[in-house]
Amino acid sequence: MRTIKRREFLKLSAALTVGGIAAACSPAAPAPAPEAPAEPPAQAPAEQAAPAAEAAAEAPASAFKEAPMLAERVAAGTLPPVDQRLPEEPLIMDPVESIGEYGGTIRMMDMGHLLMTIGAEPLVKWKRDLNGTRPNVITSWKWNDEATELVAQFRKGIKWSDGEPFTVDDYLFWWNDMVLDETIGLSTPAATRVNGEPMQLEKIDDYTLKFTFAASHPLFLDLGARGYYNSAWFLVPAHYLKQFHPRYNSEYTDATEILARYNNRLQYSDFPVLYMYKTTDYKADDYVKLERNPYYWKVDPDGQQLPYIDKFDVKLIPAGGSLTELAVLQSIAGNIDFQIRDFNLKDVPLLRENADKGGYEVRLWSRGDFAWPWLILYYDYPDEGIVDLMYNQKFRTALSIAIDRDQINEVAALGLGKPRQAALSPESPEFQTPEGKEVYDQWVNLAATYEPEQAKALLDEINVKDVNGDGFRERPDGTALELIVSVAQGDTQSIEAMNLIKQTWEGVGIKTVVAPDEGSVFNQNVSAGNVMIRAWGSAAAWGLISASPVWAPVEGVSYCMGGARIGLYYQTGGKEGIPPRPGSMLETLQQRYTEVISTNDPTERTKKLLNAYRVHIDDGPLYIGTIGDHPSALVVNKKLKNVQNTGLVAGWDLGFPGTADPEQFYYAQ
């Protein structure tokens, strides 16, 4: 993937045949510019940029090609020619397999799946193999020696889907008028703060922006590539949203309308976007229909404007519906072309049995996860007696070794998972060295065997005993002890696993309640500190890149270890949330995280990161894992091409499936 000046492309097109261009741009040929690094070098960082294109005479606009449906609009005079719609440096996308053909519709289910497929357009984007990042919305960037200042060059000439120019003013509007404006109330993304202090932005020109941080922040761009909700979501059309902002339009007195559109942009057909498809029709709990963005800013090596596929037709799930069940049934009926989530391993035999009937293939991608489910203990729960037990290592250990992971693996995952402690993804870069492998092995095997008698002994030791003879243990003060575990209603694997855990926990005398919840209600309860424990399927968690709040309480998100309010306290520099207990392992993790992210040298940073993980080994388990690192089903229409054979099903923090570049998917004729 690389950029090329439009004039350079036109010159090549005038001089060469299409086949010559394809050969010159093939993956085997030397790239005209190196991929930009994921982090700044330790010494004197140099600007990462494509070589300047030499001056060239203009060639016919037909050097670029477009989809027939857009060519018709150009001919009718309702759309500018394709060369006027592309930026000065279109991003050239090398295909996974082959140059594609225009046309067709992709059918899928679930708004979340759609967002993860088309919405990952960050400043820099993960490579398909996750080996570093690549330029995307920005073409080059330069850090100062201390990694406190970053100057980024935005891709010149990108347009919104309505044809309006995209400039740094759009990013500044999001930051100044939506994040920093307290009347709007957007939370400050974790990557935009250092030591609780928000970044400062300075406009150099329409396409150059300077970022300044309170301390060293070399991972800013990597953290900003974390899926659609941490990347493209921050790129907003100022010219559109200003009409709903109270500061710019007195008809609006609060943030209700602007936030509704910001948070639910795919529900609005008039909302301009930068990603590959724009909404044409939406009906709540029924469907959303999209068509190609005529101003999308990427092309293939032959100069064909992407995407290849014309439209997306997405079925939404009505309230109370089972997404997993409907996804399986719709696949078997031949109504699904690309579905990368919402299947359980137990669905695989049925899906494969009906693959020919449904016209699809079943591929197994890695989940890349560390536990499904993992049990998040919320140390910010308002019941101090429960929190006292959570902070007690012997209590946490007793809960962990009172789980029969082998049973969960056989019943819930067809024996294809790995019984383990929750210890991040084994693919995470820091675990690839000998020292990293040692830390990972110690962590993943910590308190991960089924030892019910030892669990009983530990509970007795901390005076958690059955004092009234009812078969269930009481707290040390003699009052009733009941663990309440929240589980998402549609997460059938976690529900099945928790029902098994309930049996073994109650087998050692811990009364347990499994409480299915609806997602939005759960998030509200987490923010208020009203959730005790949650069982949840994890994602592909890479320690610093995608999953800092998984191992350290540093971000106010629902999956933050320790609790969202404790993470929010760190994220806001103590202005919001609640602190961890002084001297606790949670406070130590926050301190070590701060040291890690402010370290410029990658080797030294990795050493500090592994040292931070040792808190989980020495004082752990701090949360509880079950099974993980198992495959998951991917349903792909047999005619759909350029879908890579490997990837991460649970990789939304790393931008999957958007990282697989769906703009170059196409149907073979």
Binning pLDDT at 50, 70 and 90, where does residue 613 land?
Answer: very high
Q: Which range in 6-10, 31-35, 309-313 is most confidently predicted, on average pLDDT?
A: 309-313
Residues 6 or more apart in contact with residue 529 via CB below 8 angstroms: 378, 380, 381, 382, 563, 564, 565, 578
- Region of 162 (left: φ > 0; alpha: ψ -120 to 50; beta: rest) is alpha
Task: Find out whether 566 and 379 touch, Cβ atoms under 8 Å.
Answer: yes
Angle separating helix axes 434-444 and 602-618, nearest 10 degrees: 20
pLDDT digits (tens, 9 = 90+) for 26-42: 333 333 333 343 343 33
Domains of the chain plus CATH, in order, are 63-120+275-367+631-668 (3.40.190.10), 121-274 (3.90.76.10), 374-628 (3.10.105.10)
What number is the average pLDDT over the span 357-369?
Answer: 86
> For position 52, what pLDDT does the model report?
32
C-alpha closest to that of 368 among 421, 425, 415, 441: 425
As to burial, measured by CB atoms within 10 angstroms (0-12 exposed, 13-18 middle, 19+ buried), residue 192 is buried
How many angstroms separate the CA atoms of 348 and 553, rounded?
Answer: 36
pLDDT score at 426: 83
Determine which of 72-86, 275-289, 591-605 has the lowest per-residue pLDDT on average: 591-605
- For the stretch 213-265, pLDDT in tens is 999 999 899 888 876 656 567 899 999 999 999 999 999 999 999 999 999 99
Residue 611 — φ and ψ, nearest 5°?
-65, -35
pLDDT of the residue at 222: 87
Collapsed DSSP state (helix, strand, coil) of residue 532: coil
Say what the pLDDT of residue 42 is.
Answer: 37
Give yes or no for a contact between 212 and 202, defined as CB atoms under 8 angstroms apart.
Answer: yes
Tokens of 100: 């594609």
| Residue 416 CB neighbours (<10 A) | 15
> What is the tens place of the pLDDT at every residue in 542-577?
667 667 888 999 988 888 999 999 999 998 889 899
Pairing between β-strand 277-283 and β-strand 287-292 as defined by DSSP bridges: antiparallel
- What is the per-residue pLDDT across 393-430, written as a single tens digit (0 to 9) for each? 999 999 999 999 999 999 988 888 889 999 888 878 89
173 DSSP 8-state letter: I
Q: State pLDDT tens for residues 88-119.
A: 999 999 999 999 999 999 999 988 888 888 98
pLDDT band at 186 (very low <50, low <70, confident <90, very high): confident
pLDDT band at 45 (very low <50, low <70, confident <90, very high): very low
Give the torsion sign (CA, 328, 331, 335, 340).
positive
Can you give the pTM of this predicted structure? 0.81
pLDDT confidence band for 21 (50 / 70 / 90): very low
- Give every strand in the sheet of 374-377, ordered side by side: 374-377, 533-536, 482-488, 511-517
**pLDDT greater than 80 at residue 479:** yes
Mean of per-residue pLDDT scores for the chain: 87
Give the per-residue pLDDT at 650. 59
- Beta strands 631-637; 338-339: pairing state: antiparallel
Average of pLDDT values for 599-606? Answer: 92
pLDDT at 164 over 90: yes
Q: Is 471 left (phi over 0), alpha (psi -120 to 50) or beta?
A: left
